[in-house]
Amino acid sequence: MGIVSMKQLWKRPLLGMIAVALMAGAAPALAQKAGTTAADAEMRLRKLEAEIKAIQRSVFPGGDGKYFAPEIQKNGTAGTAASATGTPATTPVTDLLTRMEGVETQMSRLTSQNEESANRIAQLEAKLAALTPAPVPVTPAVITPATVPAVVTPAPLAVTPAKPVVSAPVAPTPSKPVAPSVARLTAVKAIEKPKSDDAGEDEYSYGYRLWEAKFLPEAEQQLQLTIDKYPRHQRVSYARNLLGRAFLDDGKPREAAQWFLKNYQVDRKGARAPDSLLFLAESMRQIKDTNRACIALGEFADGYKAEAAGRLKSQYDATRGGLKCN
């Protein structure tokens, strides 16, 4: 067996322990054999210990001065022992656990800070929401052409169970016009007004086109103009009925009911008198006046049997299905 160096022995833990034991046991024997003094033996033991520490610093992790003090300091003076004799050095596993505990502590602090930040943000958002004013509803603009008079709607009329359904209508009252927007004015101007030898027909046709394009306020104005200018025209029954439908489509069932009633009462043989009576029942249903709605529906069934079984059958069935009449 050849000579094994100290470094090789420390790489093999069992051999290193045997070597240290042999060295420690051999020191007194060598001192006696050579006739050395106890001071010489102590000096040789310290030298062996210094060599073992040097091997530990080069073999084990952390052998850099952090765990083992260097033998010679940078200023040339001898270093001191890092720890008291017999104190075991920290192992890599111990160092790893220590570092993991530090990381967990940092994560706990970050989590706490994150929760505090989220709570503060939530409080700020709640305060901001309380300070934000509620949105103000915007009323859509209504176009009022210079050549068209203001919208007029008949005043409410009292309805009685006896026939005719309600009393005579009252003169309409004008409503306050609203300035139109540029975009709406442009869209209305894009609808072409018919031009023929029958001016009354042209006025009604233009109102119908506005109603068909869903420009309801403009259609109401145009149809009112047609009724005022051509009260004896063959299309006047159509105009009054369509004016009521424009109000009904515009979400104004009370105004619509006045025009449906007027169209029925003024000319019960008019082309759209039966239509107006059915729409009157629908208007009363939307107002939640079931009693008058049923009266109008019964008047239609008695006075316009041909229409109830023919042209207006589907509308009559739909209106009757939405009511609970005795």
For residue range 66-119, what is the model confidence (pLDDT) as tens digits? Answer: 545 555 555 555 555 444 455 555 676 676 677 767 767 777 777 777 788 888
Domain assignment present for 146: no
Confidence of residue 262 (pLDDT cuts 50, 70, 90): very high
Tokens of 90: 């920290």
156 shares a domain with 68? no
Considering its fold, how many domains does the chain have in total?
2
Question: Cβ contacts of residue 203 below 8 Å, gap of 6+?
Answer: 222, 225, 226, 229, 230
- Note whether residue 156 is domain-resident: yes
pLDDT at residue 143, as a whole number: 43
CA 64 to chain centre: 60
Q: Higher pLDDT residue, 188 or 177?
A: 188
Query: What does the pLDDT read at residue 61?
Result: 55
| 125 pLDDT more than 70 | yes
156 plus 68 within the same structural domain: no
Whether residue 280 is found in the same domain as residue 173? yes
Q: Which amino acid is at 99?
A: R
pLDDT, greater one: 268 or 101: 268
Q: Domain boundary at 73, 101, 119, which?
A: 73
Mean per-residue pLDDT of the chain: 74
With respect to residue 143, please indicate whether it lies within any of the assigned structural domains: no
Q: Are residues 41 and 159 in the same domain?
A: no
Q: What is the pLDDT of residue 117?
A: 82
Structure confidence at residue 1 (pLDDT):
44
Q: Is residue 308, in this structure, part of any structural domain at all? A: yes
Q: What pLDDT sits at residue 235?
A: 95
Q: How confident is the model at residue 249 (pLDDT cuts 50, 70, 90)?
A: very high
Residue 79 backbone dihedrals phi, psi, to 5 degrees: -80, 165
* Domain limit, last residue, from 29, 46, 73: 73
Confidence category of residue 50, pLDDT binned at 50, 70, 90: confident
CATH number, domain of 217, equals 1.25.40.10
Is residue 127 a part of any domain in this protein?
no
Average of pLDDT values for 51-80? 56
DSSP letter for 3, please: -
Question: Taking residues 212-238, what's their average pLDDT?
Answer: 95
Distance CA 220, CA 242 (A): 9
pLDDT at 129: 74
Residue 297 has pLDDT above 70, yes or no: yes
State residue 288's pLDDT score: 93
Range of the domain at 60: 6-73
60 and 160, same structural domain?
A: no
- Quick check: is 98 in a domain? no
pLDDT score, position 23: 52
Check if the beta carbon of residue 149 is closer than 8 Å to that of residue 169. no
Longest Cα–Cα distance of the chain, Å, equals 153
Q: Are residues 180 and 298 in the same domain?
A: yes
Query: Would you state the pLDDT for residue 195?
Result: 92
In a domain, 265, yes or no: yes
More confident residue, 239 or 152: 239
Q: What are phi and psi of 166, to 5 degrees?
A: -135, 170
Q: What is the mean pLDDT of residues 120-131?
A: 79
Comparison of pLDDT for 285 and 94, the residue scoring more: 285
Asked whether the predicted pLDDT for residue 126 surpasses 70, the reply is yes
Q: Which two tokens stand for residue 2?
A: 């050849």
Residue 132 lies in a domain: no
- 238 has a pLDDT exceeding 80: yes
What is the C-alpha separation between 293 and 159, in angstroms, rounded? Answer: 10
Q: Residue 206: which residues within 8 A CB-CB, separation 6 or more?
A: 191, 193, 194, 222
Q: How far from 4 is each of 8, 51, 81, 224, 229, CA to CA, in Å?
A: 6, 15, 27, 121, 129
Among the candidates 73, 96, 121, a domain finishes at 73
Contacts of 135 (CB under 8 A, 6+ apart): none
Model confidence at 2: pLDDT above 90 = no
What's the pLDDT score for residue 182? Answer: 85
Q: Same domain, yes or no, for 52 and 196? A: no
Task: Tell whether 59 and 156 lie within a shared domain.
Answer: no
